[in-house]
Amino acid sequence: MTSLAYIPLFFFSLLLSYFLTSYLARKMKKVGITGRDVNKKNKPEIAEMGGIGFVGAFIGGVLLALALYTFGITALSINTLFIVAALLSILSVSYMGIVDDLINLPQWLKAFLPLLAAVPLVAMSAAGSTSMTIPFIGEVDLGLFYIFVLIPIGLAVAANLTNMLAGFNGLEAGMGMVIFSVMGAIALAHGNDNMAVLFIPMLGALIGFFLNNKFPAKIFPGDVGNLAIGATLAAGVIVGDLESAGAILMVPYVIDFFIKAWNRFPSSKWWGEIKNGELYPVDGKVRGFAQLVMKIAGGISEKNLVLCFIAMEIIFGLIVIALYL
């Protein structure tokens, strides 16, 4: 019965996200906040910073859950300290994304600032558990190392990784939908309302956004959206003590990180070169995971490239389900 309480939260976030991002798709283009869709032949100008819409819908869903819990309308078992701490960290990372979208922050600063955004989660963990659940091993208490090292690094890494594997219509939202479907199902199965109250609204918000972001995209998420996806995953698994599950779901992003690190984190030519409607690595060089897939496939459409990554994420999602359910 408790799980039924998430149905209105899911649909509230989905509908709010859809209408907000539909409005932003028109408004952002009108005021000139746009970005070039570099993977289209004519490179059209597309509305940017759509993440503001789905992050706003996500926050609305979580606040609705807190309201229902506070007034005793649902039987959810929520630790409001944990949820508020997670929200503060996610909002801090999202704010950093807004600033980056507007003035383009240096790479080193984008890597450092999420560490500061982890302060609410650090404070929460200081008053709560310092343990991690590891498959086949069980709970491991890491003490102060977990609080002051793993939490800040985990938030910063997750946020930056989901911001790096991006730039193709529907990719960020599509992979995020898989991530939060899996983690939401695990949260519900385990009766972990602290995780579910973060993951279910984010799932709804991403689906609402995806309807405007899928190929051909009407709006891009921007750094505000990309960073928020990783930050929400990190914050949720921290409050739910399932960090290792989140780490498994991040494997495709980690692969992308190492390929880009090998190429000294290229700031250009990470996209595809269009030939006969298909994408190939620019200059034939592999500068990221997406270009590696293009090269292996010998050319691939943008839509199929995104489907490939979503399928990849589903595989890791099934591994997580096998381990935790």
Report the Cα–Cα distance between both ends of the chain, in Å, rounded: 19
**Tokens 């690190």 identify what position?**
261
Spatial distance between the Cα atoms of 96 and 79, rounded to a whole number of angstroms: 26
pTM: 0.95
Task: Tell me what pLDDT residue 73 has.
Answer: 73
Structure tokens at 164: 């790096």
CB under 8 Å to 191, separation ≥6 — which residues? 2, 77
Spatial distance between the Cα atoms of 47 and 34, rounded to a whole number of angstroms: 4
Spatial distance between the Cα atoms of 27 and 291, rounded to a whole number of angstroms: 32
Spatial distance between the Cα atoms of 163 and 302, rounded to a whole number of angstroms: 18
Report whether 237 contacts 195 (CB < 8 A). Answer: yes
H-run or E-run covering 186: helix 171-189
Task: Tell me what pLDDT residue 184 has.
Answer: 97
Query: Positive or negative, the Cα torsion across 212, 214, 217, 223?
Result: positive
Counting beta carbons within 10 angstroms of the beta carbon of residue 145, is it exposed (0 to 12), middle (13 to 18) or buried (19 or more)? exposed
DSSP states of 243-302? HHHHHHHTHHHHHHHHHHHHTT--SSS-SEEEETTEEEEGGG---SHHHHHHHHHTSB-H
> Taking all residues of the chain, what is their mean pLDDT, rounded to a whole number?
93
- Which runs of E-coded beta strand occur in the chain? 34-36, 45-47, 131-134, 138-141, 272-275, 278-281
Residues 82-101: tens digit of each pLDDT:
999 999 999 999 999 999 99
Residue burial 58-68, b: 16+ Cβ < 10 Å; e: rest: bbbbbebbbeb
**Tokens 């991006």 identify what position?**
166
One-letter amino acid at 318 equals L
Task: Tell me what pLDDT residue 108 has.
Answer: 87
Q: Which of 231, 214, 213 is nearest to 222 (CA)?
A: 213
SS3 138: strand
Report whether 57 contacts 244 (CB < 8 A). Answer: no
Q: With a cut of 50, list the residues of the chain below it in pLDDT.
A: none
H-run or E-run covering 96: helix 80-103
